Amino acid sequence: MTNHQNSKTDGSAMNTLDSKKMSTIELVNKNLAKRYRAETRFRAYGIASIGFGLLCLCLLFTDIIGKGHSAFMQTYVQLEVHMDADRLEITDITDVNQLARADYQGVLKQALRLEFSAVNSRGDKRKLYRLVSNGAGFELRKLLEAKPDMLGTTSTLWVLVDDDIDTYVKSRGNLSSAPSENAFTGRLSELQIGWVERLISEDRIDKKFNTNFFMVGDSREPELAGIRGAIMGSIYTMLVTLALSFPIGVAAAIYLEKYAKKNAFTEFIEVNINNLAAVPSIIYGLLGLAILISFFELPRSIPLLGGLVLTLMTLPTIIISSRAAIKAVPPSIEEAAMGIGASKMQVILHHVLPLAMPGMLTGAIIGMAQALGETAPLLMIGMVAFIVDVPGGITDPSTVLPVQIFLWSDSPERAFVEKTSAAIMVLLGFLIIMNTLAVWLRKRLERRW
């Protein structure tokens, strides 16, 4: 009887343990399922965030490219131009002064009057003359200087049109209503639209690649404006920045990592370097304005001044990246070099520096890319000036590409909208190339230990 009761008690205890064990397993499985669902949601949030970012980037690029791609084409009109020596007032084709003072626009106006002989009133003639660009005469002068035998002859030439005509022709495919009622007509009158439509029907208006956009400087006329001056100004500014910031940044990194003693003073320097990397860029512009311009009296709007300001801005980035590259070099390499009798300077110059150089170059390129896209510090030192001539050196007045974009974006002419977007495309192209070069150098030159 007692044995039977004991066995019965043991069986109930085992059942109780099994039920507790089962409930524990169910609880663990339930918690695991809950954790897996949380991880799945977290992964979905990450994928959604990346997708949203890529979508915004695609929308941005689509908007910029959609507005700016047309700036790489320019509209021209075909005219029969008679190089009348009397109208041009040229008696000696070899006289440079006569070529410079000749009335080329008058010759083009004469060609327009012959083409549209029914135009008689003075007001209509003024509208007719606005079909061609005010700068078309400069192209005619270059052509006559290159081919002097054209004087006194009649030639069929493609002449640059005005920016309003250019905008109308490029937007003509988007017309959803009558041409005279569409917003793309801008300042064009019905009479001018009729002339343009007639020329289009005769295949005498065509769009060609806009070489002037890359070959000339800025202009008040949109059809004559280009970015060569801004590109050269950016190149000179970046050369000054690179020539100063890279050697100074690398030298500072070597001193802080290999020579400076760890004390309160060096810790103060390190903290301030890290803080300077987060300082708004306009502060460096104020610093350049207060010290370089006001105290040292450097002239405004020159690449030398812009390079000095951007050097101050990029130094913290280069120092931080160079220190990280030096720390990544294994200490065993230094110990081995010193073990065979190399001095500390020889160890740094012959072993540490070459191995750390890929990381240093990557940091320098990223710093240069950051400097290339900066606008605020350069506005503070006067590089916002309207500069027509292409600079020939670091002391010539110039602007840079981001500032040129800023100037065009504030212009009231509609034709500058596409110029602004096209300049942004060029700037983005430079930035993408520089960042791609940094990634390639890191992958190509880095060594793993």
Please report, for the domain that includes residue 266, its CATH number: 1.10.3720.10
With respect to residue 143, please indicate whether it lies within any of the assigned structural domains: yes
Same domain, 243 and 366: yes
pLDDT tens string 17-28: 555 555 777 777
- At 204 the pLDDT is 93
pLDDT at 425 over 50: yes
User: Sign of the C-alpha dihedral, residues 132, 138, 141, 146?
Assistant: negative
- At 320 the pLDDT is 92
With respect to residue 43, please indicate whether it lies within any of the assigned structural domains: no
* Nearest by Cα to 422 from 144, 225, 269, 239: 225
Could you identify the residue written with the tokens 């910031």? 245
With respect to residue 17, please indicate whether it lies within any of the assigned structural domains: no
pLDDT at 8 over 60: no
Is residue 373 a contact partner of residue 431, using CB atoms and an 8 Å limit? Answer: yes
- At 251 the pLDDT is 94
- At 86 the pLDDT is 86
**Domain limit, last residue, from 158, 177, 210:** 210
The pLDDT confidence band at residue 92, using thresholds 50, 70 and 90, is: confident
The pLDDT confidence band at residue 78, using thresholds 50, 70 and 90, is: very high
Is residue 111 a contact partner of residue 199, using CB atoms and an 8 Å limit? Answer: no
Domain region containing 250: 228-445
**Domain limit, last residue, from 146, 175, 210:** 210
pLDDT at 176 over 50: no
Same domain, 177 and 249: no
Same domain, 181 and 258: no
With respect to residue 50, please indicate whether it lies within any of the assigned structural domains: no
Q: Which percentage of the chain shows pLDDT scores above 90?
A: 44
pLDDT tens string 242-293: 999 999 999 999 999 988 888 888 889 988 998 888 888 899 999 999 999 9
Strand ranges of the sheet holding 73-82, from the earlier edge strand across to the other edge: 154-160, 73-82, 205-209
Per the prediction, the chain carries an average pLDDT of 87
Same domain, 279 and 412: yes
Same domain, 94 and 120: yes
Same domain, 271 and 387: yes
What are the phi and psi torsion angles at 102 (to 5°)? -65, 150
Sort 246 into a burial class: Cβ within 10 Å, 0-12 / 13-18 / 19+.
Answer: buried
End-to-end CA distance of the chain: 77
pLDDT at 163 over 50: yes
pLDDT tens string 94-153: 888 888 888 899 999 999 999 998 888 889 999 999 999 988 888 899 899 889 898 888
- What is the SS3 assignment for 260-275? CCCCHHHHHHHHHHHH
Same domain, 184 and 328: no
pLDDT at 449 over 80: no
Same domain, 236 and 172: no
pLDDT tens string 182-215: 445 667 889 999 999 999 999 999 999 999 899 9
* Between 53 and 447, the higher pLDDT residue: 53
Same domain, 137 and 254: no
Q: Please tell me the distance from the alpha carbon of residue 368 to that of residue 311, in angstroms, as a whole number.
A: 9
pLDDT tens string 321-377: 999 999 988 888 888 988 888 888 999 998 899 889 888 988 898 899 889 988 889
Same domain, 164 and 251: no
With respect to residue 19, please indicate whether it lies within any of the assigned structural domains: no
DSSP 232-296: HHHHHHHHHHHHHHHHHHHHHHHIIIIIS--SHHHHHHHHHHHHHTTS-HHHHHHHIIIIIITTT
pLDDT at 237 over 60: yes
The pLDDT confidence band at residue 180, using thresholds 50, 70 and 90, is: very low
Domain count across the chain: 2
With respect to residue 32, please indicate whether it lies within any of the assigned structural domains: no
**Domain limit, last residue, from 154, 175, 210:** 210
Q: Please tell me the distance from the alpha carbon of residue 322 to that of residue 317, in angstroms, as a whole number.
A: 8
- At 22 the pLDDT is 58
pLDDT at 67 over 50: yes
